[in-house]
Amino acid sequence: MTKHAENGAPVSAPRASDGALCEAYDTALLDLDGVVYAGGEAVPHAVASLRAAREAGMRLAYVTNNAARTPQTVAEHLVRLGVPADADEVVTSAQAVARLMAERLPAGARVLCAGGEGLRVALRERGLTPVDSADDDPAAVVQGYGGPGMAWGVLAEAALAVGRGVPWFASNTDLTIPSGRGIMPGNGTAVEVVRIATGRTREPVVAGKPAPPMHRETIIRTGARRPLVVGDRLDTDIEGAHAGGVDSLLVLTGVTDPATLLAARPDHRPTYVAADLRGLLAPQPAVARVGEGFACGGWHAVARAAELKLTGPGDGETVGESGGETGGADPVDGLRALCAAAWAWAGAGPGGGGVPQADKALARLGW
């Protein structure tokens, strides 16, 4: 029988699973940017891993905060990459915010749409009417990522309407979005432009991850009974999983690096950690308390004097003595042990607390 975390339980160390995650959970709720693809190209091992997970019986749902594209366009992109996907398996923050607005506005209400085609299509599907000007008497304003070519005038119209007191919504508030050329401004940056221009201190009503409406939209559309959130961001994917009371897998192919993971606050700590989507296909090793520290896969980590110390498998060396050699052991196992030691230190009383220094320990693992 597969051992797993209780949904929503506090995470003090990465959890174990005796069986592959694709067998323990019925549906993978997969983020896209940084998980499945980056800069439009498939992340290494993503295509083969997702195909294998589906063949093992796991359903796949692609859940993205990016509201610019329609589900059909996203699915076509995934298929071109070799990823199995249908439009009804794609869930966007545009769909989540459109449902939220339709529940609060009259049928057919005009909505000033400061976003891309994905947001416009989602509004129409919910019986709302997208308009482009603050002078079109909109019942609400909604902002969604419109791509790098979104005109400045779109934000000007949104600011005018919000400044007049029109109800304000946002698909999401991610400040950045990954691209093939590097990190670029996301929808959260555009939201801040409107806030500054209007002098507003209030927040828009947000639907996307990590807010609950996005999780609700995903569950409605997928019918998942035991979902696993799979993402690369602590502040959207993993926090959203905590908010929804479900388990999560962090993959290290996108925004979050190992140092950031070690410093994660409790609601940003994933249930499981893997290098990439191959983590769906394998059991998850246990992290055990051993002496003052924690062990996983032959690695032993302990926090002493506000610094993480790491011993490698079979060599008896402490960090910094072997020039980054891992002896053939899995570095992610070492990271799992370090997570347990760092998170225990962060929650400790006198003599502990805060984030322990981890540079030498991570260098030992090649990070």
Residues 6+ apart with CB under 8 A from 198: 159, 162, 163
The type of residue at 97 is: V
Distance CA 99, CA 96 (A): 5
Q: What token pair was written down for 360?
A: 């030498």
Hey, what are 236's tokens? Answer: 């959207």
Are the CB atoms for 232 and 250 separated by under 8 Å? yes
User: Among residues 18, 26, 33, 267, which one is catalytic?
Assistant: 33
Cα distance between residue 261 and residue 331, in whole Å: 14
3-state secondary structure of 140: strand
Please tell me whether residue 274 adopts helix, strand or coil conformation.
Answer: strand
Q: How far apart are CA 296 and CA 335, in angstroms?
A: 9
76 close to 90: Cβ distance less than 8 angstroms: no
**CA-to-CA dists, residue 129 to 136, 170, 318, angstroms:** 11, 16, 63
- 33 is an active site residue: yes
d(CA 306, CA 199): 42
Cα angle value 176/177/183 (rounded, 5°):
80
Catalytic one of 18, 26, 31, 333: 31
Residues of 144-175 as b/e, b for ≥16 C-beta within 10 angstroms? bbbeeebeeebbebbbbbbeeebbbbbbbbbe
Please name which of 364, 303, 355 lies closest in space to residue 333, comparing C-alpha atoms: 364
Which residues are identified as catalytic? 31, 33
